[in-house]
Amino acid sequence: MREKFSTQTREPVAGGSLLYYNRAMFDEAGVPYPDQNTDWNKFLELAQKVMRKSPDGRILRYGMVWPGFYMDESLWYMILWQYGGEVVRSEGDAYVLGREPYLDVNVQALQFFIDLSNKHQISPTSYELEQLRGVDLFKEGRAAMRLSGSWEPFVFRERPEFRWGYAPLPFLKKRVTCNDGNPLVIPAGCKHPREAFEVAKYLCRGAYQKVVAETGRAIPAEIAVAESDLFRKSLAVDRSLMLQVAADGRRRAWKGKLSMYQLEIHEIEKRNVELAFLGRMSVRECILRIQSEVDNLLLRAG
Protein backbone atom coordinates (compact mmCIF):
# COMPACT_ATOMS: atom_id res chain seq x y z
CA MET A 1 0.00 0.00 0.00
CA ARG A 2 1.29 3.44 -0.91
CA GLU A 3 2.08 5.94 1.84
CA LYS A 4 0.18 9.19 1.39
CA PHE A 5 2.07 12.37 2.06
CA SER A 6 1.02 15.62 3.64
CA THR A 7 0.87 18.69 1.46
CA GLN A 8 2.60 20.55 4.30
CA THR A 9 6.17 20.63 3.01
CA ARG A 10 9.18 22.79 3.80
CA GLU A 11 12.34 23.41 1.81
CA PRO A 12 15.57 24.52 3.57
CA VAL A 13 17.61 25.26 0.43
CA ALA A 14 17.20 26.09 -3.25
CA GLY A 15 19.53 25.85 -6.21
CA GLY A 16 19.86 25.20 -9.89
CA SER A 17 22.23 24.26 -12.67
CA LEU A 18 25.16 26.24 -14.04
CA LEU A 19 27.50 25.70 -16.96
CA TYR A 20 31.14 25.32 -15.86
CA TYR A 21 34.05 25.55 -18.30
CA ASN A 22 37.82 25.08 -18.36
CA ARG A 23 39.36 28.50 -19.10
CA ALA A 24 42.69 27.05 -20.19
CA MET A 25 41.05 24.91 -22.88
CA PHE A 26 39.08 27.83 -24.26
CA ASP A 27 42.17 30.05 -24.25
CA GLU A 28 44.20 27.37 -26.05
CA ALA A 29 41.52 27.08 -28.75
CA GLY A 30 41.10 30.85 -29.04
CA VAL A 31 37.38 30.49 -28.35
CA PRO A 32 35.33 33.00 -26.32
CA TYR A 33 33.94 31.85 -23.00
CA PRO A 34 30.21 31.04 -22.79
CA ASP A 35 28.13 33.77 -21.14
CA GLN A 36 24.55 34.79 -20.38
CA ASN A 37 23.82 35.17 -24.12
CA THR A 38 24.88 31.63 -25.01
CA ASP A 39 21.96 29.61 -26.33
CA TRP A 40 22.20 25.88 -27.08
CA ASN A 41 23.08 26.48 -30.74
CA LYS A 42 25.97 28.78 -29.78
CA PHE A 43 26.93 26.30 -27.07
CA LEU A 44 27.14 23.53 -29.69
CA GLU A 45 29.40 25.72 -31.83
CA LEU A 46 31.73 26.43 -28.88
CA ALA A 47 31.83 22.78 -27.85
CA GLN A 48 32.81 21.68 -31.37
CA LYS A 49 35.66 24.20 -31.39
CA VAL A 50 37.19 23.18 -28.06
CA MET A 51 36.92 19.40 -28.47
CA ARG A 52 39.99 17.51 -29.73
CA LYS A 53 40.33 14.38 -31.87
CA SER A 54 43.30 12.20 -32.77
CA PRO A 55 44.33 11.76 -36.45
CA ASP A 56 42.37 8.51 -36.56
CA GLY A 57 39.21 10.18 -35.23
CA ARG A 58 39.31 9.12 -31.58
CA ILE A 59 37.98 11.77 -29.23
CA LEU A 60 40.76 12.97 -26.92
CA ARG A 61 38.75 15.79 -25.35
CA TYR A 62 34.99 16.14 -25.31
CA GLY A 63 33.37 19.53 -25.75
CA MET A 64 31.20 18.88 -22.72
CA VAL A 65 30.04 16.19 -20.35
CA TRP A 66 26.72 15.80 -18.58
CA PRO A 67 26.69 15.13 -14.83
CA GLY A 68 25.96 11.68 -13.51
CA PHE A 69 23.75 9.27 -15.42
CA TYR A 70 22.60 10.37 -18.86
CA MET A 71 19.00 9.31 -18.48
CA ASP A 72 18.43 11.39 -15.34
CA GLU A 73 15.09 13.03 -16.04
CA SER A 74 16.16 16.44 -14.69
CA LEU A 75 18.48 16.84 -17.72
CA TRP A 76 16.03 16.26 -20.53
CA TYR A 77 13.09 17.76 -18.62
CA MET A 78 14.97 21.08 -18.76
CA ILE A 79 15.44 20.79 -22.52
CA LEU A 80 11.74 19.98 -22.98
CA TRP A 81 10.70 22.96 -20.88
CA GLN A 82 13.05 25.27 -22.76
CA TYR A 83 11.52 24.10 -26.04
CA GLY A 84 8.02 24.77 -24.68
CA GLY A 85 7.27 21.10 -24.08
CA GLU A 86 5.73 19.50 -21.01
CA VAL A 87 5.79 16.30 -18.99
CA VAL A 88 3.03 16.86 -16.44
CA ARG A 89 0.26 19.40 -17.04
CA SER A 90 0.18 22.50 -14.83
CA GLU A 91 -2.39 21.05 -12.43
CA GLY A 92 0.13 18.31 -11.65
CA ASP A 93 -2.36 15.47 -12.02
CA ALA A 94 -1.87 14.20 -15.60
CA TYR A 95 1.18 12.79 -17.40
CA VAL A 96 1.27 14.32 -20.89
CA LEU A 97 4.72 13.54 -22.34
CA GLY A 98 3.20 11.71 -25.33
CA ARG A 99 -0.07 13.62 -25.54
CA GLU A 100 -1.19 16.50 -27.73
CA PRO A 101 -0.48 19.38 -27.89
CA TYR A 102 2.98 18.49 -26.47
CA LEU A 103 3.97 15.40 -28.47
CA ASP A 104 5.68 17.04 -31.45
CA VAL A 105 7.63 19.63 -29.46
CA ASN A 106 8.68 16.98 -26.92
CA VAL A 107 9.98 14.82 -29.77
CA GLN A 108 11.99 17.76 -31.15
CA ALA A 109 13.44 18.59 -27.74
CA LEU A 110 14.46 15.04 -26.81
CA GLN A 111 15.94 14.53 -30.29
CA PHE A 112 18.06 17.66 -29.81
CA PHE A 113 19.26 16.35 -26.45
CA ILE A 114 20.24 12.96 -27.91
CA ASP A 115 21.88 14.51 -30.99
CA LEU A 116 24.38 16.41 -28.84
CA SER A 117 26.17 13.12 -28.19
CA ASN A 118 25.05 10.73 -30.93
CA LYS A 119 25.14 13.08 -33.92
CA HIS A 120 27.45 15.95 -32.96
CA GLN A 121 29.66 13.82 -30.65
CA ILE A 122 30.47 16.73 -28.34
CA SER A 123 29.82 14.53 -25.29
CA PRO A 124 30.10 10.83 -24.48
CA THR A 125 27.26 8.59 -25.62
CA SER A 126 25.24 6.79 -22.98
CA TYR A 127 27.31 3.64 -23.61
CA GLU A 128 30.61 5.51 -23.30
CA LEU A 129 29.45 7.24 -20.15
CA GLU A 130 28.53 3.89 -18.63
CA GLN A 131 32.04 2.56 -19.41
CA LEU A 132 33.52 5.68 -17.79
CA ARG A 133 31.44 5.39 -14.63
CA GLY A 134 33.40 6.90 -11.73
CA VAL A 135 35.67 8.94 -14.03
CA ASP A 136 35.20 12.72 -13.83
CA LEU A 137 36.08 13.81 -17.36
CA PHE A 138 35.80 17.51 -16.59
CA LYS A 139 38.08 17.51 -13.56
CA GLU A 140 40.56 15.24 -15.32
CA GLY A 141 40.87 17.61 -18.28
CA ARG A 142 39.10 15.35 -20.78
CA ALA A 143 36.06 17.60 -21.25
CA ALA A 144 35.97 21.37 -21.71
CA MET A 145 32.55 22.03 -20.14
CA ARG A 146 30.22 20.52 -17.61
CA LEU A 147 26.64 21.19 -16.58
CA SER A 148 26.25 20.77 -12.84
CA GLY A 149 24.87 22.27 -9.64
CA SER A 150 25.90 25.24 -7.53
CA TRP A 151 27.95 23.06 -5.17
CA GLU A 152 30.69 22.37 -7.74
CA PRO A 153 32.91 25.42 -6.91
CA PHE A 154 33.65 23.93 -3.51
CA VAL A 155 35.20 20.93 -5.22
CA PHE A 156 37.13 23.16 -7.61
CA ARG A 157 38.60 25.13 -4.71
CA GLU A 158 40.52 22.02 -3.71
CA ARG A 159 42.53 22.44 -6.93
CA PRO A 160 43.87 26.02 -6.97
CA GLU A 161 45.71 25.37 -10.25
CA PHE A 162 42.42 24.61 -12.02
CA ARG A 163 41.28 27.67 -14.00
CA TRP A 164 37.52 27.43 -14.27
CA GLY A 165 34.67 29.75 -15.11
CA TYR A 166 30.90 29.62 -15.05
CA ALA A 167 27.87 30.87 -16.96
CA PRO A 168 24.09 30.44 -16.84
CA LEU A 169 22.64 27.30 -18.37
CA PRO A 170 22.29 27.67 -22.18
CA PHE A 171 18.74 28.36 -23.31
CA LEU A 172 16.46 27.64 -26.27
CA LYS A 173 13.12 29.38 -26.59
CA LYS A 174 13.20 30.45 -22.93
CA ARG A 175 15.35 30.16 -19.82
CA VAL A 176 14.38 27.28 -17.57
CA THR A 177 16.44 25.12 -15.26
CA CYS A 178 15.44 22.42 -12.81
CA ASN A 179 14.97 23.57 -9.22
CA ASP A 180 17.44 21.52 -7.20
CA GLY A 181 16.00 22.21 -3.77
CA ASN A 182 15.54 19.52 -1.14
CA PRO A 183 11.94 19.56 0.10
CA LEU A 184 11.20 17.97 3.45
CA VAL A 185 7.96 15.98 3.36
CA ILE A 186 6.19 14.56 6.41
CA PRO A 187 4.16 11.35 5.73
CA ALA A 188 0.49 11.55 6.63
CA GLY A 189 0.98 8.51 8.86
CA CYS A 190 3.95 9.94 10.75
CA LYS A 191 3.85 8.90 14.45
CA HIS A 192 5.32 12.21 15.62
CA PRO A 193 4.11 14.84 13.16
CA ARG A 194 4.41 17.79 15.55
CA GLU A 195 8.04 16.96 16.35
CA ALA A 196 8.82 16.34 12.70
CA PHE A 197 7.35 19.71 11.80
CA GLU A 198 9.49 21.41 14.44
CA VAL A 199 12.62 19.84 12.93
CA ALA A 200 11.58 20.99 9.46
CA LYS A 201 10.86 24.48 10.79
CA TYR A 202 14.29 24.63 12.44
CA LEU A 203 16.03 23.69 9.18
CA CYS A 204 14.15 26.39 7.26
CA ARG A 205 14.75 29.29 9.64
CA GLY A 206 17.28 31.17 11.71
CA ALA A 207 20.45 29.43 12.83
CA TYR A 208 20.47 26.60 10.31
CA GLN A 209 19.81 28.99 7.44
CA LYS A 210 22.94 30.88 8.47
CA VAL A 211 24.89 27.61 8.32
CA VAL A 212 23.62 27.14 4.74
CA ALA A 213 24.71 30.71 3.94
CA GLU A 214 28.18 30.23 5.43
CA THR A 215 28.88 27.16 3.30
CA GLY A 216 27.64 28.84 0.10
CA ARG A 217 26.75 25.42 -1.31
CA ALA A 218 23.11 26.32 -1.93
CA ILE A 219 20.74 29.26 -1.68
CA PRO A 220 19.16 29.66 1.78
CA ALA A 221 15.37 29.41 1.66
CA GLU A 222 14.98 32.34 4.06
CA ILE A 223 15.02 35.42 1.82
CA ALA A 224 16.67 37.71 4.38
CA VAL A 225 19.57 35.28 4.75
CA ALA A 226 19.89 34.75 0.99
CA GLU A 227 20.20 38.52 0.56
CA SER A 228 22.66 38.95 3.43
CA ASP A 229 26.38 39.76 3.27
CA LEU A 230 27.04 36.44 5.02
CA PHE A 231 25.80 34.56 1.97
CA ARG A 232 27.49 36.90 -0.52
CA LYS A 233 30.93 36.54 1.11
CA SER A 234 30.76 32.73 1.16
CA LEU A 235 29.93 32.28 -2.51
CA ALA A 236 32.45 31.21 -5.12
CA VAL A 237 30.13 32.52 -7.87
CA ASP A 238 28.26 35.79 -8.30
CA ARG A 239 25.28 36.01 -5.96
CA SER A 240 23.06 37.80 -8.47
CA LEU A 241 23.63 34.93 -10.91
CA MET A 242 22.83 32.36 -8.23
CA LEU A 243 19.58 34.14 -7.39
CA GLN A 244 18.71 34.35 -11.09
CA VAL A 245 19.35 30.62 -11.49
CA ALA A 246 16.97 30.00 -8.60
CA ALA A 247 14.39 32.30 -10.21
CA ASP A 248 14.71 30.36 -13.49
CA GLY A 249 14.32 27.10 -11.60
CA ARG A 250 11.16 25.11 -12.05
CA ARG A 251 9.74 22.60 -9.61
CA ARG A 252 8.15 19.45 -10.95
CA ALA A 253 4.63 19.69 -9.50
CA TRP A 254 3.34 16.12 -9.30
CA LYS A 255 0.14 15.44 -7.42
CA GLY A 256 -2.17 12.56 -6.55
CA LYS A 257 -1.28 9.18 -8.06
CA LEU A 258 1.52 10.76 -10.10
CA SER A 259 3.36 11.82 -6.95
CA MET A 260 2.86 8.38 -5.38
CA TYR A 261 4.35 6.59 -8.41
CA GLN A 262 7.15 8.98 -9.37
CA LEU A 263 9.92 6.41 -8.88
CA GLU A 264 8.22 3.85 -11.13
CA ILE A 265 7.51 6.52 -13.75
CA HIS A 266 11.12 7.69 -13.76
CA GLU A 267 12.29 4.11 -14.20
CA ILE A 268 9.99 3.77 -17.23
CA GLU A 269 11.43 7.01 -18.63
CA LYS A 270 15.07 6.04 -18.06
CA ARG A 271 14.70 2.59 -19.60
CA ASN A 272 13.10 3.91 -22.78
CA VAL A 273 15.22 7.04 -23.17
CA GLU A 274 18.31 4.83 -22.95
CA LEU A 275 16.96 2.69 -25.81
CA ALA A 276 16.47 5.86 -27.87
CA PHE A 277 20.05 6.90 -27.07
CA LEU A 278 21.25 3.51 -28.25
CA GLY A 279 19.30 3.87 -31.51
CA ARG A 280 17.00 0.93 -30.81
CA MET A 281 13.90 3.03 -31.32
CA SER A 282 13.08 6.48 -32.65
CA VAL A 283 12.51 9.36 -30.26
CA ARG A 284 8.82 9.47 -31.20
CA GLU A 285 8.48 5.74 -30.49
CA CYS A 286 10.30 6.27 -27.20
CA ILE A 287 7.95 9.00 -26.02
CA LEU A 288 4.81 7.15 -27.11
CA ARG A 289 5.99 3.98 -25.37
CA ILE A 290 6.73 5.91 -22.17
CA GLN A 291 3.24 7.44 -22.28
CA SER A 292 1.64 4.03 -22.84
CA GLU A 293 3.57 2.36 -20.00
CA VAL A 294 2.81 5.22 -17.59
CA ASP A 295 -0.89 5.09 -18.54
CA ASN A 296 -0.94 1.33 -17.87
CA LEU A 297 0.85 1.80 -14.55
CA LEU A 298 -1.67 4.37 -13.35
CA LEU A 299 -4.59 2.28 -14.66
CA ARG A 300 -3.43 -0.75 -12.66
CA ALA A 301 -3.00 1.49 -9.61
CA GLY A 302 -6.74 2.20 -9.77
Asked if the model's pLDDT at residue 7 lies above 70, the reply is: no
Asked if the model's pLDDT at residue 280 lies above 60, the reply is: yes
- Predicted local distance difference test score (pLDDT) of residue 138: 87
- Mean pLDDT for 90-118 is 90
- Predicted local distance difference test score (pLDDT) of residue 96: 94
Average pLDDT, the chain: 81
- Predicted local distance difference test score (pLDDT) of residue 180: 57
- Mean pLDDT for 141-164 is 79
- Predicted local distance difference test score (pLDDT) of residue 1: 36
Asked if the model's pLDDT at residue 248 lies above 60, the reply is: no
Using one digit for the tens of pLDDT, what is the confidence trace for 233-242?
766 566 566 5
- Predicted local distance difference test score (pLDDT) of residue 6: 43
When mean pLDDT is compared across 10-19, 73-82, 171-180, the lowest value belongs to 10-19
Asked if the model's pLDDT at residue 76 lies above 90, the reply is: no
Spell out the domain ranges in the chain: 5-13+181-250, 17-178+261-301
Superfamily of domain 17-178+261-301: Periplasmic binding protein-like II (3.40.190.10)
3-state secondary structure the chain: CCCCEEEEEECCEECCEEEEEEHHHHHHHCCCCCCCCCEHHHHHHHHHHHCEECCCCCEEEECCECCCCCCCHHHHHHHHHHHCCCCECCCCCCECCCCCCCHHHHHHHHHHHHHHHHCCCCCCCHHHHHHCCCCCCCCCCCECEEEEECCHHHHHCCCCCCCEEEEECCECCCCCEECCCCCEEEECCCCCHHHHHHHHHHHHCHHHHHHHHHHCCCEECCHHHHCCHHHHHHCCCCHHHHHHHHHHEECCCCCHHHHHCHHHHHHHHHHHHHHHHCCCCCHHHHHHHHHHHHHHHHHHHC
